[in-house]
Structure 1
Amino acid sequence: MSREWACLIIAIFCEIAWATTLKRTEGFTRFWPSVINVLFLCGLLYFISAAVNVLPVAIAYPIWTGLGGVGVAVVSVVFHKEKLSFMQIVSILLIITGAVGLKLAEVH
């Protein structure tokens, strides 16, 4: 795996962590949850910018946002006991399919 794809994967994990810790900040009124949230935000910005230094933005950004959103949905279902309808699950699977398709159709 290349460095830029590794950076993209790390950016996706930072995106998931940032989004899932956002609620715990309670509107940035809680100090430590807010600090942790901002650190994840800084990490995701650093790693996505490193990834798009080499990868086309037209590929990296949709993969980052799509898989980040999927990850947030999975974490929300597993850890926060949120419910998804059948159509929401199908739609999430379509996002994953699209992200894989963007990677597989990569122009060299």
Structure 2
Amino acid sequence: MNPIYMAYAMLALAIITEVTGSTFLVKSEGFTKFWPSAAVVVLFCIAFYLLSQVIKVIPLGIAYAIWAGVGIILTAAVGYFIFKQNLDLPAMLGIALIVSGVLVINLFSNSTGH
């Protein structure tokens, strides 16, 4: 398999594990509940391990921009759909700007390695 495709697949998995870890962070209630707290630690360790592998292929700045942008979007979606946390217009606009930035990086930058 092409190393770029593998790196992007690992980045996607890293983002998913980070967002899942963030979801358990809410459930841990300030690290007062053992199993959700343990899940946070394990999931964040997996996420950072995967990110460490990704940056062998994709430049750190690009990988982290994608990680942060997509992570924010997915975390906001989890907050909205699972925890019923409302997003106002400025929040949605900010998320749209983040999406735009990630798209510009991936579609137009030569720094991404594709």
The interval holding the TM-score normalised by the smaller chain is: over 0.9
Shift of 1:63: 0.8
The corresponding residue for 1:103 is 106
**Structure 1 residues without counterparts, runs of 5 or longer:** none
Would you identify which runs of 4 or more consecutive aligned residues in structure 1 move more than 2 Å? none
State the partner residue of 2:76: 73
Partner deviation per Cα, 1:53-102 (whole Å, 9 max, x = no partner): 11001111011011101111011001111111112111101111111111
TM superposition score normalised by structure 1:
0.92
In 2, Cα distance between the equivalents of 1:104 and 1:55? 15
Task: State how far apart, in whole Å, the 2-side matches of 1:39 and 1:96 are.
Answer: 28
Size of the aligned set, in residue pairs, is: 108
Structure 1 partner of 2:65? 62
Give the corresponding residue for 1:30: 33
**TM-score (norm: length of structure 2):** 0.88
Alignment-mate amino acid for residue 31 of structure 2: F
1:16 is displaced (CA, Å) by 0.8
Q: Give the CA deviation at 1:106.
A: 3.7
